[in-house]
Structure 1
Amino acid sequence: MGSQRSGFVRAGSAAAYLQAFVLCGISTVLLTRAYLAATGYPKIGGGGLHIAHVLWGGLLMMVALGVALAFLGRAARICGAMLGGVGFGLFVDEVGKFITETTDYFYRPAAGIIYLTFAVLVVMTQWLRGPVERTADERRADAANAALIGVISGLTTRQRMEAIDLVTESERDVDRALVRLLNAIPDAEPRRVERWRAAAGRLRARLDTLLRPPWTLAATAYYLIALPALTIVGTVVAAFTGGLDHAGGRPAGLVVIGAAVCAGVLSIRGATTLRADRAAGIRWLRLALLTDLLVGQVFKFTVNQFAAVSELAVDMVALWVLVRWSQRVAA
């Protein structure tokens, strides 16, 4: 009797497509807000009608789903991911209108909701990229998908070898047939995306050299210790100077302070653990940073949106440093 199979098999390339979706969504929100601010928030329509951009977002998401369902191959999937990301960005940008009685596009907590939505998607992307033991079915399905892509557009040497490695150790007839099929597929012409990927690889290698000195990890630890203290001081000052008197400001400030206290305790634990156990120390520091990113930052957008955006950029650099150091220690 064959083993019971699940109807869902995780694709090895899922993280790349989800990342494209997230990047297109975030870019769409930022560009939409910038365009509307620069043009005085124009309205499309007349005679009492207003065609909100949430409708364009729904239309693009429908087109993205149609492309993904109707066509095969990598081009269809990346097109669907990008169109879907743009559509989702237009959709979620108007969340303030649908959670307030006055349909307030400028509702301050809306920025935090939008941020949290994309933060969850980023965490999902990182989870999909994680070192999870893959099942034989997942490996076989990925090899077959690579063969399908190759039938459509050919395979580069790297793509062919990666696909063959997925099933080369198996003795099953279907896996041997996949190896023969993969070897029979014509070579693909070097494409622009491959050149971009090679350039990105060289850039990552150069950036990694910047992380070799131990001070980069120490500096990140000091930043994560100082950040909660500065956050608490800034929030208290804002409370006394009237910066939290807007709707939702004071409850958001309390959550920001609570998250900062938790992140500070975790950061201190991580910093003190680094010398004895670098891997454990990095895990504590990452937990502290994720506490800030997934809890504190959501409500910081309600307290002070400009400061939240600036701090978020630095937090993402810190997260990148911790991820690269974690990979380096694991190796």
Structure 2
Amino acid sequence: MPLRVLEAPSYLQAFVLSGVVTVLVTRAFLQAAGYPRLGGGGLHIAHVLWGGVLMTAGLGVALVYLGSAARILGAVLGGIGFGLFIDEVGKFVTAGTDYFYAPAAGIIYGAFALLVVISQAIRGRIRLSGPERTANALYAVVGGLRSGLTDDRRAAAARLVRGCGPDVEEGVARLLNVVPRREAPGPRFWQPWLSRARRAMVWVTTHRWVVSLVVLYLIGEPFVVVSSFLLDTVTGQWHDQREWGAVLGVSIAALITAVLSIRGAWLLPRDRVRAFRLFKLALLVDLLFGQIFSFTVNQFGALSALAVDLFLLGVVTAEHRRLCRRAPAPDR
């Protein structure tokens, strides 16, 4: 079995984020520019071709060069290429090569949602064996031969081989002594903004009234969606709706979310840990199932609802973790 890379979740995260940003920027630019055609004389160079070039370039960087920097660059180039590729998925699944095919937005969202699930699953399951830890420590050494390693990177490499045997620990320590030392880089321009965002999120999740509002929203919002669907069905508002299947999918997801939220609310006075676990599950159902159909119905206008869901998931997850930390340990 091939040896696994410890930083694989970070590479996948870079791939997904660069792909998502590429799709959003591409859609915004094309709409602002009036969907121009690149080419002439009956030719049109679709941006899916540029996506293929960039995915090839990303793969080439990862195959040719060593070190984490090359892996990150390859992931970003590959993500941009994948974003340009998946943005034109409507042309590949329709006989008339329809870029504006309505379910395309849902397919794009579903593809990235699946990649996020995979990256999170890998992040939670990476438990490296002794040989894998040794290989990753040596990989860190190789990556620092040219530009050097900071003290933090050295310490991390030494920790990786701890418990792998005295010969391995001594060998890696000698190699680390050969690698040039490098000062830790200064803070990136985006790090202060990220720190502020984290502090703001912590501030929000520590206020009980915010958590209460989130719970009320989780209970009430699915009922609004289902009621709106039933009302529009009775009044005939869906007569001209072309994506009936997607509308039905949104309603089913809302119904499941409502059931889970009601169950969570019923448990709230007695078992807050289980209640917030159900609230979290309700949001995940909407994010991984309902939003796919929501993007089909509302196209990229569903981004605002997605942002709300992600904020709610952050608040609910933080509260669930706080409750788990405070919960008494089970008797053995």
Bin of the TM-score, shorter chain as denominator length = 0.7 to 0.9
CA drift at 1:308: 2.1
Tell me: CA distance 1:68–1:98, structure 2 relative to 1, closer, same or farther (3 Å): same
Amino acid at match of 1:143: A
Aligned residue in 2 for 1:235: 229
8 Å contact 1:244–1:253 — kept in the other structure?
Answer: no
Question: CA–CA distance in 2 between the matches of 1:91 and 1:229?
Answer: 37
Q: Which residue of 1 aligns with 2:60?
A: 66
CA distance in 2, matches of 1:142, 1:330: 33
Task: State the Cα distance separating 1:216 from its structure 2 match.
Answer: 3.6
For the aligned residues, what is the CA RMSD?
Answer: 2.4
User: Among 13, 27, 31, which residue is 2:7 paired with?
Assistant: 13
- Residue of 205, 222, 226 corresponding to 1:211: 205
Structure 1 position 175, deviation (Å): 3.5
Question: Which residue does the alignment assign to 2:248?
Answer: 254
Q: Which residue of 2 aligns with 1:3?
A: none
Q: State the match for 1:312 in structure 2.
A: 306
User: 1:228 is matched by which residue type in structure 2?
Assistant: P
Partner of 1:53: 47
Q: 1:112 to 1:10 in 2, by over 3 A?
A: same
Counterpart pick for 2:113 among 119, 128, 139: 119
Residues 35-46 of structure 1 mapped to structure 2, 5 A cutoff: 35-46=29-40
1:9-158 matched pairs, under 5 angstroms: 9-130=3-124, 132-158=126-152
Q: Is the 8 A contact 1:64 1:84 kept in 2?
A: yes
Q: Which residue of 1 aligns with 2:171?
A: 177
Please give the alpha-carbon distance, in whole angstroms, between the structure 1 residues aligned to 2:268 and 2:156: 36
* Whole-angstrom distance in 2 between the partners of 1:209 and 1:138: 39
Sort the Cα spacing of 1:195 and 1:183 in 2 relative to 1 into closer, same or farther, 3 A. Answer: farther
When normalised by structure 1's length, the TM-score is 0.88
Displacement of 1:180 in angstroms is: 3.5
Aligned length: 324
Q: What per-residue deviation string (whole Å, max 9, x for no partner) do you get for residues 255-308 of structure 1?
A: 211111111111222333344444433322221111111111111122223552
Aligned equivalent of 2:285: 291
Asked if the contact 1:244/1:303 (under 8 Å) is kept, the reply is no
Q: 1:73, 1:152 within 8 Å by CA — same for their partners in 2?
A: no
Among 219, 223, 245, which residue is 2:240 paired with? Answer: 245
Identical positions, percent: 48
2:264·2:274 contact (CA, 8 Å) conserved in 1?
Answer: yes
Partner amino acid, structure 2, of 1:101: A
Q: Which moved more, 1:35-44 or 1:214-223?
A: 214-223
- Deviation at 1:212? 2.0
In 1, distance between residues paired with 2:173 and 2:266?
Answer: 50
**Partner amino acid, structure 1, of 2:44:** H
Look up the equivalent residue of 2:222 and give its one-letter code: P
Q: Distance in 2 between matches of 1:183 and 1:276?
A: 57
Determine helix, strand or coil for the equivalent of 1:50: coil
- Say if 2:264 and 2:275, in contact at 8 Å, map to a contact too: yes
Q: Contact 1:160–1:183 at 8 Å: present in 2 too?
A: no
Q: State which drifts further: 234-243 or 115-124.
A: 234-243
User: Any idea what the Cα deviations from partners look like across 1:62-87, whole Å, max 9, x if unmatched?
Assistant: 11100110001122111111111110
Residues 273, 138 of structure 1: alpha-carbon distance in 2 compared, 3 angstrom cutoff: farther
SS state at 1:245 partner: coil
- Measured against aligned partners, the alpha-carbon deviations of 1:137-181 in whole angstroms (never above 9, x if no partner) come to 332232222222222322222222222222223325224322343
When structure 1 is superposed on structure 2, of 211-220 and 42-51 the one drifting more is: 211-220
Deviations 1:211-242 (A, max 9, x none): 22334433333222222112213333454453
What is the Cα deviation at residue 202 of structure 1?
Answer: 6.2
Letter in 2 for 1:224: L
In the alignment, the residues of structure 2 paired with residue 227 and residue 82 of structure 1 have an alpha-carbon distance, to the nearest angstrom, of 37
Counterpart-to-counterpart distance in 2, 1:14 and 1:163: 16
Q: Which amino acid aligns with 1:111?
A: A
Q: Is the 8 A contact 1:167 1:179 kept in 2?
A: no
Checking the alignment, whether the CA contact within 8 Å between 2:38 and 2:46 is kept in structure 1 is: yes
Match of 2:267 in 1: 273
Q: In terms of mean alpha carbon deviation, does 138-147 or 68-77 score higher? A: 138-147
Is the deviation greater in 268-277 or in 111-120?
Answer: 268-277
2:330 — aligned with what? Answer: none
- Give the direction of change, closer, same or farther, for the CA distance of 1:263–1:276 in structure 2 (3 Å limit): same
Structure 1 counterpart of 2:276: 282
